[in-house]
């Protein structure tokens, strides 16, 4: 049984699950029609359920500040994403809805926020990015507002946080670190990276997991430091410079094995 905390609109209600004592949002055609606050309802088989167990503040407080259409939009994006990516953590519903609401408001005023890490986000989270593109279509279909590719990047981060342990802020920080790393490689090698190439995508993926290992305090499986230091001294010196700078800026510890491993990826992509 559920107790209705708030009827969002005809297609959505905020409820409290009697058994788990968790706040949930139920979405579906006609789910909210004819219901009222405080009413008790049984399981609704046609409703999509979004648990809100990690909300730090009351869900009622959060949803009161969001137009229900954006909660519906967010729900449909999650539904579409799960067709491709599998089950996501549904805690992303309200944060994504809140972000989309603000993005649409900015777009109406021609004040969209640029995303300097969009290309890195697309390379880092390719599957999520493609589903975010479908999400942008859903936003336009339901609100009449077209968002740019920069916003697709931001929506990607919300989707990624639904399938990973990283939250949106951590994912954006990952993209920032990757962007800085790639810029340092181009400067050090005096050569542009071949965007979209297999070597480029492998390099981006490596840096992503290098950061993940540093956050978890893990080491790389291979120790290629001596080999890289001897065989690719220039690339090794650059990789060492990058790791040491990132340590200072990100407050992460990159083990020495990472230097040799990164040097090999630099050599592969730059030739």
Sorted by sequence, the CB contacts under 8 Å of residue 35 that are 6+ apart come out as 4, 7, 13, 41
What pTM value is reported for the model? 0.80
C-beta atoms surrounding 37 within 10 Å: 11
**pLDDT, tens digit, 9 for 90 and up, residues 168-197:** 999 999 999 999 999 999 999 999 998 878
pLDDT of residue 56: 57
Is the pLDDT confidence value at 134 over 70? yes
pLDDT of residue 28: 92
pLDDT of residue 159: 96
Q: In the predicted model, what is the mean pLDDT of residues 13-17?
A: 91
Q: How far apart are CA 207 and CA 211, in angstroms?
A: 6
Q: In the predicted model, what is the mean pLDDT of residues 249-268?
A: 90
**pLDDT, tens digit, 9 for 90 and up, residues 69-124:** 999 999 999 999 999 999 999 989 999 999 999 999 999 999 988 999 999 999 89
pLDDT of residue 51: 82
Q: In the predicted model, what is the mean pLDDT of residues 242-257?
A: 90
The residue among 236 and 65 whose pLDDT is bigger is: 236
pLDDT of residue 249: 87
Q: In the predicted model, what is the mean pLDDT of residues 144-160?
A: 96
């Amino acid at each position: 049984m559920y107790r209705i905390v708030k009827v969002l609109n005809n297609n959505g209600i905020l409820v409290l699950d009697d058994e788990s004592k968790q706040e949930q949002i139920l979405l579906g055609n006609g789910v909210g029609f004819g219901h009222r606050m405080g009413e008790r309802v049984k399981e609704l088989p046609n409703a999509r359920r979004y648990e809100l167990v990690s909300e730090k503040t009351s869900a009622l407080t959060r949803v009161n500040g969001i137009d229900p259409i954006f909660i519906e939009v967010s729900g449909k994006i999650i539904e579409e994403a799960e067709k491709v990516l599998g089950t996501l953590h549904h805690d992303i519903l309200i944060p994504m809805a809140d972000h989309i609401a603000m993005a649409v408001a900015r777009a109406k005023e021609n004040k969209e926020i640029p995303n300097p890490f969009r290309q890195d986000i697309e390379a880092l989270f390719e599957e999520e990015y493609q589903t975010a593109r479908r999400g942008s279509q859903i936003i336009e279909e339901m609100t009449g507002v077209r968002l740019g590719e920069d916003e697709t990047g931001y929506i990607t981060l919300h989707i990624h946080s639904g399938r990973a342990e990283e939250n949106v802020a951590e994912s954006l920080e990952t993209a920032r670190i990757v962007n800085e790393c790639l810029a340092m490689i181009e400067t050090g090698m005096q050569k542009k990276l071949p965007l979209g190439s297999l070597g480029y995508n492998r390099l981006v993926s490596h840096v992503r997991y290098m950061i993940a290992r540093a956050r978890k305090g893990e080491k790389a499986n291979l120790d290629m430091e001596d080999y890289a230091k001897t065989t690719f001294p220039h690339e090794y010196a650059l990789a060492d410079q990058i790791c040491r700078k990132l340590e200072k800026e990100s407050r992460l510890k990159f083990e020495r094995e990472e230097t040799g491993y990164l040097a090999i990826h630099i050599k592969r992509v730059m030739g």
